[in-house]
A and B are shown apart, each in its own frame.
Chain A
Amino acid sequence: MAQILVADDSETILLLMRTRLEMAGHEVETAADGQEVIDAVSRAAAPHDVLLLDAMMPRKSGIDALRELRAAGNDTPALIVSAHTDAGDEPGDRADLEIAAYITKPIDFDQLFAKITELAS
């Protein structure tokens, strides 16, 4: 079981994520954009085990939020969810963001659960 912070701008996706992750026995907190991610992280009593962030969100993207968190010294393992099938190829310096993996939409939950177990252990 892991404490997971999930961020997506779609309520439907958040509901899906929460349901599947809770069914798998994880504890889920949700955020609707990058700012909510940062707020949730700073508010948390104990650090989350895994961050599951959508790459593109209005106002502040998952990537930007992660960049701020890393700059503030946060080292929570992060998974980036993206609609891009070639998300890993995108330009821009993401080397220092320590992204554990890219999860492509539509989500293969078996693969996602395996990643979370690996990162949370």
Chain B
Amino acid sequence: MAKPASTRRFRLSPSLANRLTIGFAIAFAVLTGLAVIGVARFLQQRQDYENATARSYQREIEARNRLAQGRHPVAARAAVLAQQRHRSELRDEISSETRDTALLVGAGLIAGLTGAALLFTGLIASMRRPLEDLVDASGRLAGGDLNARVKIGGLSETATLGAAFNEMAEELQRRAGERDQLDRMKDEFVLTASHELRSPLTSVQGFAELLLLERERLSPKQADTVEVILDNTRHLVRLLNDLLDLARSDAGRLTIRAEPTEATGLIEDAVRTMRAQFDARRQELNLEIETGLPRIEADRDRIRQVLVNLLTNANEYCPEGAGIEVKAHRADADVEIEVIDDGPGIPAPQLERIFERFTRGDAGETQRVGGTGLGLAISKSLVELHGGTIEAESIPGAGSTFRVRLPAIAMDRAKVS
């Protein structure tokens, strides 16, 4: 079945990566440029300021020298004052220019960051819708809706992702279809085989019975031989019936026709059917049914089949002289039916898998016991179809308990119906 996956590969186009890289580069260049220009301008202004201040001090010193030498004292004094005023103006100027530069750089940074943020939000927003679509479709696919597909669109990346998703879903659906078809073929085969085998089995069983009708004309050995043929034929028929039930169960076609049923009568009926087998093995079969047991919504034949199966197991797996109890009582909203035996019990590893197909007692036992290994698996399916549960408990050496719970019909509803 392992078929190489489609050779087609989905590749993300480099456009998203490119766009992101270019976006980053532009943002980086703009912001770095702004910072460099800002710092350079700041340093230049600082330099100009210091030079101008130095020149002003120089002039003031020259003026003061002239004053000290007594040359043009009025003009020199005025020059000193003028230089002091000039430096004060320079200080005002530099602080105002520094503020302007800081504002310029700050505004540039904010604009750059805002632009970058807008760019990325835009990208994210354009990816969001297709991604939400994908999340939704994945959820539906996981939930078993194989028709889940996404609308392909948006950025080329999400479009590629969408196309890949759709192809995956397509493939899953195709394989599920193939598997369903195989399942149908298998079920069909089991049904056909089971029916086709019935006619020859009818002949074998019928003629063997015919021979036994004239037992007096057979030697004891011949009669025993015919008994063996009959036993095995019946076993084959049981196996066929069980396989048929399982095939139906797998195909979801194991159906029940449930109707309000007296649990008490149903249990008594199943026990009555099995009484002779218990007597034959000198086993004691006790029945304990609570009075006023509510009715259950049940397919009579199918629940009878379950109970007969449990009783058959107890009958066949317990030694001669063993004791078996059938108890039925109300348990919460259910009717609980227990089949309790004091037989050899079931070892834990087998108990865990007791309701799986072809799980049976140990090999030595199965030689003697005529079961098919399917009875409990079918019983479980049937009980669950009724909305009930079945469980097993066992203490090796002390016995086993099988417990079936079936929903009781509520008293008020029972009165109405």
Contacts and interface: CB of A to CB of B under 8 A. Distances in A.
B210 A106 contact: no
A20 B203 contact: no
B320 to A, nearest CB: 28
Contacts, number: 40
Contacts of B203: 10, 12-13, 16
Interface string A89-121: 100000000000000011101000000000000
A109 B206 contact: yes
Contact of A85 (B199, B213, B244): B244
Contacts of B206: 13, 16, 20, 106-107, 109
A42 interface: no
Nearest to A10: B199
B82 to A, nearest CB: 119
B205 A83 contact: no
A70 interface: no
A106 B241 CA distance: 11
B199 A105 contact: yes
Contact of A13 (B199, B209, B210, B233): B199
A16 B195 contact: no
A67 to B, nearest CB: 21
B74 to A, nearest CB: 131
Nearest to A16: B206
A89 B299 CA distance: 14
Contact of A109 (B194, B195, B199, B209): B209
A23 interface: yes
A84 B195 contact: yes
Contacts of B195: 83-84
Which secondary structure dominates chain B's binding surface?
helix
B403 interface: no
B201 interface: yes
Interface string B188-207: 00000011101101110111
A19 interface: yes
A13 B194 CA distance: 17
B375 to A, nearest CB: 16
Contact of B201 (A84, A85, A106, A109): A106
Contact of B202 (A19, A85, A106): A106
Given A83-B195, A106-B233, A106-B237, A16 B210 contact: yes
Contacts of A20: 206, 210
A106 B205 CA distance: 7
A14 B233 CA distance: 19
B202 to A, nearest CB: 4
A63 to B, nearest CB: 15
A10 B203 CA distance: 10
A83 B198 contact: yes
B241 A85 contact: yes
Contacts of B202: 13, 16, 105-107
Contacts of B233: 106
Contacts of A107: 202, 206
Given A85-B241, A85-B244, A16 B199 contact: no
Max count, chain A CB within 10 A of own CB: residue among B195, B199, B241, B244: B199
Contacts of A19: 210
Contact of A23 (B196, B213, B237): B213
Contacts of A84: 195
Given A106-B233, A106-B237, A83 B199 contact: yes
Contacts of A10: 199, 203
B234 to A, nearest CB: 9
Interface string A5-42: 00000101100100110010000000000000000000
A88 B84 CA distance: 122
Contacts of A105: 198-199, 201-202
A6 to B, nearest CB: 13
A3 B203 CA distance: 23
Nearest to A17: B206
Contacts of B213: 23
A10 B201 CA distance: 12
A29 B185 CA distance: 39
Interface of B: 194-196, 198-199, 201-203, 205-207, 209-210, 213, 233, 237, 241, 244, 255
Interface of A: 10, 12-13, 16, 19-20, 23, 83-85, 89, 105-107, 109
Given A20-B206, A85-B241, A107-B202, 7 more contacts: A13-B203, A16-B202, A16-B206, A83-B198, A83-B199, A106-B198, A106-B237
16 contacts: A10-B199, A13-B203, A13-B206, A16-B206, A16-B207, A16-B210, A20-B210, A83-B196, A85-B244, A89-B255, A105-B199, A106-B201, A106-B202, A106-B233, A107-B202, A109-B206
Complex A-B, nearest 3 residue pairs according to Cβ-Cβ distance, in ascending order? A83-B198, A16-B206, A83-B195
